Amino acid sequence: MRPYLFAITLIVLNLAGCASYAPKPLPERVNLPRSASAIVVNAAGLPFSSLSTHVFNPADGLDMYEVAMLAVANNPQLRQARDNLGIARAQSFAAGLLPDPQLGMTSDHPTNGTTGNTNAFTFNPSYDVNALLLRSSRKNAALANEQRVNLELLWQEWQVVSQARLLFTRLAAQEALMRQLQAARTLLADRYQRSQKALASGNVTLDFASADLAALQGIERRISDLERSRLQNRASLNGVLGLAADAPLPLAGEPEAAAIDPAAVRAGLEQRLNLRPDLQALQAGYRSQEEKFRGAVLAQFPALNIGLTRARDTSGLYSVGFGLNLSLPIFNRNRGNIAIEDATRKKLHDEYQNRLNGAYSEIAIALENLPLLRNQLQRTREGVAELETVAQRAEAAYRVGNLAGPDYVRLQIALLDKRTEAINLQEASMEQQIALEILLGPDLPGKIKNDRSAE
């Protein structure tokens, strides 16, 4: 009975260390915060140096950096991505565990034997040697996959930061444009009231008054379109920040972007791209596939299972034996899995090359577009300054009666259009600079860390 007692003891010890199950019900209500102040942001724990050194204080409004900080801390998609990182860590932990031995037991009771017969038993512990030999490739593949998921999370965080900054830039431009349109609406509304009085007095014709009405309605239409677009962008920003769609979000400050020297970027582009998280994630995924391919090659050799046997027959004779199971690699030899893993490795190799080539092309185009937009913005601002000078003189002439009202209105509309063009170019230039920062990758504080448990 000693082998049975030993087996029972092992089973009891294993059960004592088992995990327990507890149900986790799904939520029944929405939990979107309705205020940015309700969210705690640990600036020091943020992965980007430009954010980890900034103070988060929503009481005085959110500037561009605070919006980005809030996005990293509370974005719903990032929360799911961090859950995926937890799964990858669990898979890495599972791959590093040693394979368990197997235990077989049998018992035979004689039913027609003599008085000297006794119960027989067989006690057979065994171990799968191949599972132990393949452990290193499984563990290395899982570790590389964990690094891949971690780097993909970092890249996704950078994308969310950039998306929040782009929406902040658009809202700031729309706010500036709204101020221009409202000023023009005030001017045209006053002009329309005067023309209506003049029409009632018979001092102007209907065509004259209708032109003022058409100009005022045109501005009203542009204001309505801008209000709808601004509402949509505000809802999108709230979604990126993980807030309720109608949550108030006071914004403060102007959009900012780091100065970019195109010559310096081109000189260190290869080194910068090697540090980009998405490319590093592809490198880690390729290393994981290399380990899977190596494991498939190792698995083509005969599977080996060894064990010991302790037995007693019905006559009371005890015996000790040795067992060995060996597969014969004649037909399969794991050739199918080897071909699959090799083809997958080639796919990942080509994917990395394509991503690297695409990154170079996208950055080259962005570097060409940025100075072009800056030059256009400079020329437009010069045009605004010229029109402002003319408009000041025209206003003085209009007030003393030396300029007709319709001519004065047309000049003001032209000035509004030029200012609108400057605002749009300023927004496009800022968005292009942010897009270039996205392509170049984040400014990380030191080397990339694989341990993100603090998050």
Cβ burial 321-341 (10 Å sphere, 16+ → b, else e): eeeeeeeeeeeeebeebbeeb
* Band of residue 6 on the pLDDT scale cut at 50, 70, 90: low
Give me the percent of the chain exceeding a pLDDT of 70: 92
For residue 276, which amino acid is it?
A: R
- What is the per-residue pLDDT for 450? 42
In terms of Cα–Cα distance, which of 315, 258, 305 is closest to 108?
A: 315
* Band of residue 448 on the pLDDT scale cut at 50, 70, 90: very low
- What is the per-residue pLDDT for 336? 92
Burial class (CB in 10 A: 0-12, 13-18, 19+), 282: buried
- What is the per-residue pLDDT for 258? 74
Q: What is the mean pLDDT of residues 185-211?
A: 78
Sheet holding 120-128, edge to edge: 102-108, 120-128, 304-312, 318-326
- What is the per-residue pLDDT for 305? 86
pLDDT (tens digit, 9 = 90+) per residue, 229-270? 999 999 999 999 999 988 888 999 888 877 788 888 888 888
Q: What is the mean pLDDT of residues 198-203?
A: 76
Please report where in the chains the tokens 């300029």 appear, as a residue: 403
- What is the per-residue pLDDT for 347? 95
Cα(57)–Cα(66) distance, integer angstroms: 8
Cα(35)–Cα(274) distance, integer angstroms: 39
pLDDT (tens digit, 9 = 90+) per residue, 11-43? 665 655 677 788 889 888 888 888 888 888 888
Give the angle 52-57-61 at the CA atoms, nearest 5°.
120
* Band of residue 88 on the pLDDT scale cut at 50, 70, 90: very high
Q: What is the mean pLDDT of residues 317-331?
A: 86
Q: What's the length of the chain?
A: 455
The continuous run of DSSP H or E covering 318 comes out as: strand 318-326
* Band of residue 331 on the pLDDT scale cut at 50, 70, 90: confident
The continuous run of DSSP H or E covering 309 comes out as: strand 304-312
In terms of Cα–Cα distance, which of 134, 126, 123, 124 is closest to 98?
A: 134
- What is the per-residue pLDDT for 168? 95
- What is the per-residue pLDDT for 149? 95
* Band of residue 323 on the pLDDT scale cut at 50, 70, 90: confident
Q: Is residue 62 over pLDDT 70?
A: yes
How many alpha carbons lie under 13 Å from residue 133 in its C-beta half-sphere?
16
Cα separations (Å) of 264 from 214, 278, 295, 356, 446? 52, 22, 43, 19, 20
Is there a contact between 222 and 214 (Cβ–Cβ < 8 Å)?
Answer: no
- What is the per-residue pLDDT for 12? 60
Please report where in the chains the tokens 């329309």 appear, as a residue: 192
Q: Which residues contact 61 (CB under 8 A, 6 or more apart)?
A: 250, 251, 252, 253
Give me the percent of the chain exceeding a pLDDT of 90: 43
Mean pLDDT for all residues in the chain: 86
* Band of residue 131 on the pLDDT scale cut at 50, 70, 90: confident
* Band of residue 7 on the pLDDT scale cut at 50, 70, 90: low
| Structural domains for the chain | 151-299+339-440 (1.20.1600.10)
* Band of residue 452 on the pLDDT scale cut at 50, 70, 90: very low
pLDDT (tens digit, 9 = 90+) per residue, 351-395? 999 999 999 999 999 998 988 999 999 999 999 999 999 988 888
Q: Is residue 156 over pLDDT 70?
A: yes
Q: Is residue 410 over pLDDT 90?
A: no
